[in-house]
């Protein structure tokens, strides 16, 4: 009786304890499995961020990557565009006041000018000064104006160059010549000239609302060429700041359709933008010129 009672006590205990052991074993196994590091964490979570891509270390990714094609990466070099060609405009200049009758004469015998050079202020026995009314008339006709200052006969001395430039500026302001317009000092072959005058003229115009220009007969032997080169030696900016209008050579007056190609004979380091190729037309009081298009915006 005691043996049987002991036996059933053991069996009952086993029945009660075994489920508890199973529960404990299951909990331990689950806890250990949860302690393992997440595969995505180890791999930097690349798969989660890029669901359509495999990890870079995977075997399949190695075979799926296409090999670089150097030809595909090569971009053709852009074609070099040709430099824009300079256009040449035809124009005239005159010491005579321009009105409807005078412009009609020029158009009839020579052609319609794109540019008309006119003198500032009246110089007795030489030229009639440009007026606002005259400039307005030319503009309505589609003609640009080259303002020329010839109110001097001595082109020597820095102070003199400054003084003449200031006089030109005053008159330009008086008749409403806009900012950025070039004003040309008329240095005739018979005038005495030195580098001081040129520097004074250029410095003063360059510091003003206007741009400096110089008209002269720029040959290898001319006094104005020698003075201009000496001015450039003293101030390297002179060349870039000055627009040159030269009367060299002089093949003679022509009409617009018969004008020569733009080929002034300029000495070294002198860049000519306006070429007066013909002087003293017999019909209508004009000289004929060719003007490069890059300076057309510097005219009035």
| Whether pLDDT at 35 is above 80 | no
Q: Please give the Cα distance from 158 to 182 (Å, whole number).
A: 20
Confidence of residue 36 (pLDDT cuts 50, 70, 90): very low
pLDDT reading at 32 higher than 80:
no
| CA-wise closest residue to 239 among 248, 247, 229, 225 | 229
**What is the mean predicted confidence (pLDDT) over 78-90?**
68
Q: Which CATH fold topology does 88-298 show?
A: TIM Barrel (3.20.20)
The pair of three-digit structure tokens given for residue 286, joined into one six-digit string: 């004009």
CA–CA gap between residue 193 and residue 198 (Å, rounded): 8
Q: Other CB atoms closer than 10 Å to residue 84's CB: what's the count?
A: 8
Report the C-alpha gap between 42 and 48 in whole angstroms: 12
Which pLDDT does position 63 carry in this prediction? 44
Residues 6+ apart with CB under 8 A from 183: 120, 147, 148, 149, 168, 169, 172, 177, 205, 210, 211, 212, 213
Q: List, for residues 237-291, the tens digit of each pLDDT value.
A: 999 999 999 999 999 999 999 999 999 998 998 999 999 999 999 899 999 999 9
- Residue 84's pLDDT is 52
For 231-240, what is the mean pLDDT? 95
Q: Where are the chain's structural domains?
A: 2-60, 88-298
Confidence at 196, pLDDT banded by 50, 70, 90: very high
Higher pLDDT, 79 or 30: 79
Q: What is the pLDDT of residues 201-210, one digit of tens each?
A: 999 999 999 9
Which of these ranges, 21-35, 85-99, 174-188, has the smallest mean pLDDT?
Answer: 21-35
Average pLDDT, the chain: 82
Which stretches within the chain are classed as H helix? 2-34, 39-42, 46-49, 59-64, 70-73, 100-109, 132-140, 158-174, 195-207, 223-234, 238-241
Whole-Å CA distances, 134 to 22, 116, 131: 116, 11, 5
| Better-scored residue on pLDDT, 144 or 29 | 144
Three-state SS annotation for 128-165: CCCCHHHHHHHHHCCCEEEEEECCCCCECCHHHHHHHH
């Amino acid at each position: 009786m005691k043996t049987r009672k002991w036996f059933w006590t053991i069996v009952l205990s086993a029945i009660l304890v075994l489920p508890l052991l199973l529960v404990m074993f299951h909990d331990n196994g689950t806890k250990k499995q949860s302690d393992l590091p997440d595969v995505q964490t180890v791999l930097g979570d690349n798969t989660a961020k890029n669901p359509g891509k495999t990890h870079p270390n995977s075997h399949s990714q190695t075979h799926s990557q296409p090999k670089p094609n150097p030809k595909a990466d090569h971009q053709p070099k852009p074609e070099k565009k040709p430099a824009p060609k300079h256009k040449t405009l035809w124009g005239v200049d005159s010491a005579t006041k321009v009105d409807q009758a005078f412009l009609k004469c020029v158009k009839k015998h020579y052609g319609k000018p794109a540019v008309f050079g006119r003198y500032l202020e009246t110089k007795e026995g030489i030229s009639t000064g440009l007026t606002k009314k005259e400039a307005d008339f030319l503009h309505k006709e589609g003609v640009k104006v080259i303002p020329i200052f010839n109110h001097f006969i001595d082109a020597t001395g820095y102070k003199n160059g400054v003084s003449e430039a200031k006089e030109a500026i005053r008159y330009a302001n008086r008749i409403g010549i806009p900012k950025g317009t070039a004003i040309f000092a008329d240095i005739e072959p018979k005038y005495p000239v030195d580098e001081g005058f040129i520097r004074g003229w250029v410095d003063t115009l360059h510091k003003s609302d206007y741009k400096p220009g110089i008209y002269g007969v720029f040959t290898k032997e001319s006094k104005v060429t020698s003075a201009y080169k000496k001015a450039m030696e003293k101030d390297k900016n002179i060349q870039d700041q000055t627009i040159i209008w030269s009367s060299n050579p002089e093949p003679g007056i022509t009409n617009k359709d018969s004008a020569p190609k733009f080929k002034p004979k300029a000495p070294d380091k002198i860049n000519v933008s306006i070429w007066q190729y013909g002087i003293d037309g017999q019909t209508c009081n004009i000289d004929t010129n060719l003007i490069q298009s890059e300076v057309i915006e510097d005219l009035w």
